């Protein structure tokens, strides 16, 4: 019997697939644990240069599974982690590899929140995007009040969160939630984008750039420049720089080494 989440590593791309297609990949507590396990596996596996997160069937994730038993929610403990990259889903921002959300259908509630924590989002034509929280009597959960204004601006974020209305894929991409791709070959097109990163981009450089972007969101420009200069200095004697130059001069794909534990 297939699990609720599947993992595949092929040609430097780790693909994590939410696998409850009969339930539109509705989210369960066990899926939350599995996702963390597979993300950690991809992060520590040097052969994985890029991570793709997608859904089986016609949906990405239609939100929390409301049909199953609901456990009582407890308030966060006093000693709960407070780091930016230590929260329930924000740990995805701290993964030192690019994460692509391949939104192949409906993405609502927690399903949308998870996609927002990806570094790149590709949205299939015909998909519906919906925050949904307010229509269930809930607030902007899982850090969406921090993410959405930074991605789509304050007014668009307010509209999405206050109304809880679904928007189509074209509108989602117009306001900056992702890149629109045709339905006919959606997964193939996403794979091509992932292969481009896995083939041509230095894993070490991608890890540093990802960290720069998210940390610099809350830094003054001056500090961001100083930190960039320090990181750039580390690059000058690196094997990746030598390989990057050699591959350019020899007109061939670079042979960068992966990063992991």
57 located within any domain: yes
261 located within any domain: no
Residues 243 and 150 in one domain: no
Q: What is the pLDDT of residue 66?
A: 80
Last residue of a domain, one of 157, 173, 198: 198
For residue range 34-86, what is the model confidence (pLDDT) as tens digits?
999 999 999 999 999 999 999 999 999 999 888 765 555 666 665 566 677 76
Q: What is the pLDDT of residue 1?
A: 43
Higher pLDDT, 235 or 14: 14
Q: Predicted confidence band at 140 (pLDDT cuts at 50, 70, 90)?
A: confident
Total structural domains within the chain: 2
For residue range 162-208, what is the model confidence (pLDDT) as tens digits?
999 999 999 999 999 999 999 999 999 999 999 999 999 999 999 99
Which residue from 58, 53, 61, 52 is spatially nearest to 25, judged by alpha carbons? 61
257 located within any domain: no
The range of the structural domain enclosing residue 241 comes to 202-249
Q: What span, in angstroms and rounded, lies between the C-alpha atoms of 25 and 5? A: 9
Q: What is the pLDDT of residue 149?
A: 96
139 located within any domain: yes
Last residue of a domain, one of 161, 176, 198: 198
Q: What is the pLDDT of residue 67?
A: 79
pLDDT average, residue stretch 15-41: 96
Which residue from 156, 190, 187 is spatially nearest to 173, judged by alpha carbons? 156
Three-class DSSP labels, 4-58:
CEEEEEECCEEEEEECCHHHCCCECHHHHHHHHHHHHHHHHCCCCCEEEEEECCC
- Average of per-residue pLDDT values in the chain: 92
Q: Look at the block and give the residue holding tokens 């991608």.
A: 206
Residues 223 and 194 in one domain: no
Residue 122: other Cβ atoms inside 10 A: 24
Q: What is the pLDDT of residue 144?
A: 93
240 located within any domain: yes
> For the domain that residue 119 is a member of, what is the CATH number?
3.90.226.10
Residues 243 and 173 in one domain: no
Residues 164 and 236 in one domain: no
Residues 35 and 58 in one domain: yes
Residues 73 and 194 in one domain: yes
Q: Look at the block and give the residue holding tokens 């992966």.
A: 258
117 located within any domain: yes
Residues 43 and 90 in one domain: yes
Residues 233 and 153 in one domain: no
For residue range 82-104, what is the model confidence (pLDDT) as tens digits?
677 767 899 999 999 999 999 99
pLDDT average, residue stretch 250-261: 90
Residues 124 and 172 in one domain: yes
Residues 164 and 218 in one domain: no
């Amino acid at each position: 019997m297939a699990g609720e989440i599947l993992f595949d590593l092929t040609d430097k791309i780790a693909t994590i697939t939410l696998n409850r297609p009969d339930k539109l990949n509705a989210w369960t507590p066990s899926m939350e644990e599995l996702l963390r396990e597979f993300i950690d596996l991809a992060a520590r596996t040097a052969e994985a240069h890029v991570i793709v997160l997608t859904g089986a069937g016609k949906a990405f994730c239609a939100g929390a599974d409301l049909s199953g038993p609901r456990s009582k929610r407890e308030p966060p403990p006093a000693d709960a982690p407070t780091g930016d990259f230590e929260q329930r889903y924000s740990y995805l921002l701290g993964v030192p590899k690019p994460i692509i959300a391949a939104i192949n259908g409906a993405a609502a509630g927690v399903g949308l929140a998870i996609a927002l924590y990806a570094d790149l989002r590709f949205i299939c034509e015909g998909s519906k995007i919906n925050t949904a929280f307010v229509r269930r009597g809930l607030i902007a959960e899982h850090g969406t009040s921090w993410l959405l204004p930074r991605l789509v601006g304050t007014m668009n974020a307010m509209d999405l969160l206050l109304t809880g209305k679904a928007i189509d894929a074209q509108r989602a991409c117009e306001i900056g939630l992702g890149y629109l791709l045709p339905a006919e070959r959606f997964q193939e097109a996403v794979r091509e984008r992932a292969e481009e990163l896995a083939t041509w981009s230095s894993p070490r450089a991608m890890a540093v750039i990802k960290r720069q972007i998210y940390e610099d969101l809350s830094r003054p420009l001056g500090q961001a420049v100083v930190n960039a200069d320090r990181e750039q200095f580390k690059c000058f004697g690196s094997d990746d720089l030598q390989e990057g130059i050699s591959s350019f001069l020899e007109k061939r794909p670079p042979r960068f080494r992966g990063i992991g534990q």
